[in-house]
Chain A
Amino acid sequence: MMKFDLIRGTALVAALVAGVATVRPAAAQELVFLSTQLRPVDEAQKVRDVLLKGAPKTVYVVDEPSPFTVRMKAETESGKRTISLVGALHGELQPLAPLGALDTIDDVAAKLGDRGIPASLMELGKLGTGKQVYIPWMQATYVMVVNKKALAHLPAGANVETLTYKQLADWGKALAEKTGSRRIGFPAGPKGLFPRFLQGNLYPSYTGSMVTEFRSAEAETMWNDFKALWTTVNPNASSYDFMQEPLMGGEVWVAWDHIARVKDALQAAPNDYIVVAPPAGPKGRSYMPVIAGLAITKGAPDRAGAAAVIEHLTKPGTQVLTAAEVGFFPVVNATLPADLSPGVKLLAEGIAKTQTAKDAVVALLPVGLGDKGGEFNKVYLDTFQRIVLRNEPVRATLDAQAEVMRGIINGVKAPCWAPDKASDGPCPVK
């Protein structure tokens, strides 16, 4: 009779479950805050417990960028909103604006006049539409993390604080020869941010441009240099998503990545590392500031609440807490306290070194690409794969990829952004 018991049990469970499912109360008009940032468990918990303290009651949910986009599109198409407030990177918010998923929030921006958010950042938040679409939330950038063990092998005449790409290649070679394994690392894995390195660091440092000079002679030199540099990069790089892992594992001693993605390594062993600005090329030391923004959905269930949360999160006090707790830095005028944890302090120093370097060049996140941001990244990544990993001829590859790039830029009619000079009409790919 055991069979029958099993069946009855199964049926009972199923019936119970069905019952529970139907009586679950429908959620009331809650203020749902969906974010693609601060996703890891403990960080999300800090947002809920610390950063949102004092704000209107908020349900903080996180999502990866791709389901985030699918969800926003679907909610817009169906016209039913569950989400009031979104927090995401500039590049993730950008494709949502042309879809009509985001409300214009000039009224919210007007109330934040005294926060001291730099005009250039506020301008980015307009996404080229003339109306405020998102409010800058927090910022970060990409830095180099160096294990102190690597310093002993620095090539003669090189200063780790003012490294060039040439010196980095020599250093990598020395490290490989002296330690027997390749110690430089880039996050070139499927979820890594390597395309940002190519766009924001490498290209502008060699060519002074991200788009216009894509297939220039300087770019050709750059790729040849980088191909040489790659022979000293750890072969696992194409599986690295977050550099903190190989840094902590000791596999990599010199790594480039987003500050939030090296933070764990620095906090675990702050005495083992230094953080420096990325290397310089012939045209300067380019870096790319990363901006996360807060936007309100069109037809938000609780627009007033969402606006109040934005006001709360951009308060100088909250911004300082954000830096101390999760390692993203303020967009407003705020002084960081002296008692930051050693890991976060290292990051703060790294950012300061990057921004204030004498030869610093700012490369902005792409503007006006709409939902073509992903394909824009793919151009750089494909170029890298073809030239460096598959050994295809540099000139021919650049010409072919420039064609693809032109198609994307002309398709969305995006004018140039820094460091390329402003253009009338679509940004030219020379």
Chain B
Amino acid sequence: MTRSGRFLLWSGIVALCAWVLVPIYLIGVGAFGGRAAAFRWPKGILPVNTSLDQILVFLRIEGVANAAMNSLIAAGLTMLFSLLLGAPAGYALARFSFRGADAFRLMVLLTRAFPLAILALPLTVIFIKTGLYDTPLGVSLVHTALALPFATLVTAGLFQGIPREFEEAAWVFGCTRFQAIRKVVLPLALPGLAASAVFAFVISWNEVFAASVLTVRERTLTAYLLTVLSESPIHYRFAGGFILIVPSIVFIFAVRRYLFALWGVTSR
């Protein structure tokens, strides 16, 4: 590549990185700057009278620790369920052509095409009757319905990317289908499966509406912050927004290596 071409390429990359990072940096400045920073005009790009007050106020609120725990439980269960349900279905889509496969794909896609919040009322009634109401388990079931399409389609792509011949070779050596999957396919698919699980985790962590309708005391962190945030002064809102963003940065960092594998060769 020519020198000027290289320069152009890297300025493009740097500009796009700034496009992502600068807004996050600025809300960070707002989060640590307090009321003064929120109302300052004109605003500078450097932090002013930085303090941890807003953030600490949030963390000290009664129930935040419990809500964070609930979020972890709900997201963890979502991760588990979506993988346990999604991976076998993905494997079936990848390895077999069977009648109803397209109908199944469509049903999976449908779950993303419908505003979930509208389903809250019927779901809430069912949940109260079955005792799932106000439990992280109940929240995770709804979140699994959201994460399952991704888990299914993504794992289907993953399994498709692992040559069928590997499995067939294992059969030749006397493995049953399940042994072949366990010994040959799973080890190869593991990174992608892990990434897909973490993706389910992120979906659950960020979901607000179902979580806030289906719980009273056992709120998830996002749902808990939402009720608090929408009516707090703006600098608290910046702090809350910042708190919501930090975990996503960490999550994405944790799975960055597998992001390709996650989407792998999937194209549907």
In the complex they form, whether A and B have CB atoms below 8 Å apart is answered with yes
Task: Assess whether A80 is interfacial by the CB under 8 Å rule.
Answer: yes
- Stretch of A56-64, A98-106, A152-160, A372-380 that contacts chain B: A56-64
Pairwise interchain contact A61-B216, C-beta atoms closer than 8 A: yes
B234 proximity list for chain A (CB < 8 A): 245
Task: Assess whether B217 is interfacial by the CB under 8 Å rule.
Answer: yes
Pairwise interchain contact B216-A82, C-beta atoms closer than 8 A: yes
Pairwise interchain contact A18-B76, C-beta atoms closer than 8 A: yes
A7-B193, A18-B80 given as contacts; is B57 within 8 A of A41 (CB)?
yes
Task: Assess whether B191 is interfacial by the CB under 8 Å rule.
Answer: yes
Contact pick for B129, options A7, A32, A80, A244, CB 8 Å: A80
Bound CA–CA A21/B132 (angstroms): 12
A7-B193, A77-B125 given as contacts; is B227 within 8 A of A17 (CB)?
no
Task: Assess whether A249 is interfacial by the CB under 8 Å rule.
Answer: yes
Bound CA–CA A262/B125 (angstroms): 37
Bound CA–CA A268/B233 (angstroms): 12
Interface of A is mostly: helix
Task: Assess whether A67 is interfacial by the CB under 8 Å rule.
Answer: yes
Pairwise interchain contact B39-A78, C-beta atoms closer than 8 A: no
B11 proximity list for chain A (CB < 8 A): none
B212 proximity list for chain A (CB < 8 A): 63-64, 67
In the complex formed, the residue of B with least CB distance to A191 is B230
B135 proximity list for chain A (CB < 8 A): 21, 24
Task: Assess whether B120 is interfacial by the CB under 8 Å rule.
Answer: yes
Q: A residues 1-31 with Cβ under 8 Å of B?
A: 3-4, 6-7, 10, 13-14, 16-18, 20-22, 24, 27
Pairwise interchain contact A3-B191, C-beta atoms closer than 8 A: yes
Pairwise interchain contact A41-B61, C-beta atoms closer than 8 A: yes
How many whole Å from A7's CB to the nearest CB in chain B?
5
Task: Assess whether B29 is interfacial by the CB under 8 Å rule.
Answer: no
Bound CA–CA A73/B121 (angstroms): 8
Pairwise interchain contact A3-B190, C-beta atoms closer than 8 A: yes
B221 proximity list for chain A (CB < 8 A): none
Contact pick for A248, options B39, B58, B77, B198, CB 8 Å: B39
Pairwise interchain contact A64-B128, C-beta atoms closer than 8 A: no
B77 proximity list for chain A (CB < 8 A): 14, 17-18, 21
B198 proximity list for chain A (CB < 8 A): 10
Pairwise interchain contact A75-B79, C-beta atoms closer than 8 A: no
B112-145 interface code vs A (CB 8 A; 1 in, 0 out)? 0000000011001101110001111100000000
Task: Assess whether A83 is interfacial by the CB under 8 Å rule.
Answer: yes
How many whole Å from B132's CB to the nearest CB in chain A?
11
Bound CA–CA A45/B35 (angstroms): 21
What are 15 A-B residue pairs whose CB atoms fall within 8 Å in the complex? A4-B187, A6-B191, A14-B76, A17-B72, A21-B77, A21-B137, A22-B137, A41-B232, A64-B227, A74-B121, A77-B128, A78-B128, A80-B129, A245-B233, A264-B233
A17-B76, A41-B57, A62-B227 known; 10 other A-B pairs, CB under 8 Å? Answer: A7-B190, A10-B197, A34-B216, A61-B217, A63-B227, A71-B124, A74-B125, A74-B128, A82-B216, A249-B39
